[in-house]
Amino acid sequence: MYCWICTNEVAEFLPYGLPCRRGRCPHCGAKPRGRLIGWLLKEVLYPRMPPEARVLEAGASKFSVQQLISSGAVDGPRCTVIDLRRLRHHHRLKAPHNFVQMDLTQMGFGADSFDLILCNNTLPYVSDDYRALSEIRRCLKPDGLAIINTHREPGRTMGVREHRRLHPELSDDYYAVNGDQRVFGDDFFDRVSESGLGCEIATAFGLRSEEFLARNGLKRQNEILFAYIDPSALERCRHQDIEIRGALARREMSNYET
């Protein structure tokens, strides 16, 4: 098997997450979603963005900072990372990339600042998701694109306190890994739309063989949520390995894992 983030041959991908699934790279820690996002940035989005473009990542993971922004493996435009806290991995960001300690629900950037905003499994940890999404919309350029992914479960969105009452079998670790403020449900897309962002679900590598997916540590249903102000921004996502599924597909998506 092969991890295309660190370009290492891999004897086997390791287990990760709750519920546990297989797919973590023993060398760089990339999981299937990280490999998907890395590919999307490197092969699809960054080549179509001007050198002066600006990227914002809200709540970037250690993997994202080390392997997608700082390593040079993905050569992209200037990226600003924000987080409520300054963590050790944020110190690895070197110019032109930078870290700003900032609340996603109250960002200090001007309107229309970013060409691309990445928000990968950050919203379940944010106190007010509506304000966070509204801030993403405000700071996104009119022709910009946001990629907003989150852990979801069937049913409606619930605060963690209510979810815990209904699921006493789940451990503290479950909420640490998947979100400590709320568990998003099928109405996630409606919540994105309420902020004024349009959104479309896409899947990647759906036409590829099982052998291709297994060898590269990918999942059959690699779901991506693209959010935008103007639908023309979706033109940047056009690629033979990406299928934009349309609004009806949102209700049908069965893969809730991130």
Choose the stretch contacting Zn ion; rule: CB under 5 A; options: 4-12, 200-208, 235-243, 244-252.
4-12
Q: Which is nearer to Zn ion, 9 or 169 (CB)?
A: 9
Closest distance of CB 8 from Zn ion, Å:
5
Closest distance of CB 214 from Zn ion, Å:
15
Taking the C-alpha atoms of residue 127 and residue 104, their distance in angstroms, rounded to an integer, is 10
Contacts for 252 with CB less than 8 Å, ≥ 6 apart:
none
Contacts for 84 with CB less than 8 Å, ≥ 6 apart:
101, 102, 103, 104
User: Residue count at the site for Zn ion (CB under 5 A)?
Assistant: 7
The size of the chain, in residues, is 258
Q: Which is nearer to Zn ion, 27 or 215 (CB)?
A: 27
Closest distance of CB 68 from Zn ion, Å:
11
Q: Single out the residue of 3, 56, 74, 192 in contact with Zn ion (rule: CB under 5 A).
A: 3
Within positions 198 to 227, which residues make up the interface with Zn ion, using CB under 5 A?
A: none
Taking the C-alpha atoms of residue 147 and residue 117, their distance in angstroms, rounded to an integer, is 6
Closest distance of CB 66 from Zn ion, Å:
11
- Read out DSSP for 173-210? HHHHHH-SSEEB-TTHHHHHHHTT-EEEEEEESTTS-H
Q: Which is nearer to Zn ion, 77 or 217 (CB)?
A: 217
Strand residue runs (E) in 43-170: 54-58, 78-83, 98-101, 114-120, 140-149, 158-159
Closest distance of CB 29 from Zn ion, Å:
7
Q: Single out the residue of 5, 117, 133, 229 in contact with Zn ion (rule: CB under 5 A).
A: 5
Taking the C-alpha atoms of residue 133 and residue 72, their distance in angstroms, rounded to an integer, is 29
Closest distance of CB 64 from Zn ion, Å:
13
Tell me, what DSSP letter sits at residue 124?
G
Q: Which is nearer to Zn ion, 6 or 233 (CB)?
A: 6
Type of residue found at 18: L
Q: Which is nearer to Zn ion, 5 or 133 (CB)?
A: 5
* Cα Rg of the chain (Å, integer): 17
Q: Which is nearer to Zn ion, 3 or 146 (CB)?
A: 3
| Interface characters, 15-44, with Zn ion (x: CB under 5 A) | ----------x-xx-x--------------
Q: Which is nearer to Zn ion, 71 or 193 (CB)?
A: 71
H helix intervals, the chain: 32-39, 62-63, 129-139, 160-166, 172-178, 188-194, 210-215, 247-252
Closest distance of CB 13 from Zn ion, Å:
9
Tell me, what DSSP letter sits at residue 13?
P
Q: What is the contact surface with Zn ion in residues (CB under 5 A)?
A: 3, 5-6, 25, 27-28, 30
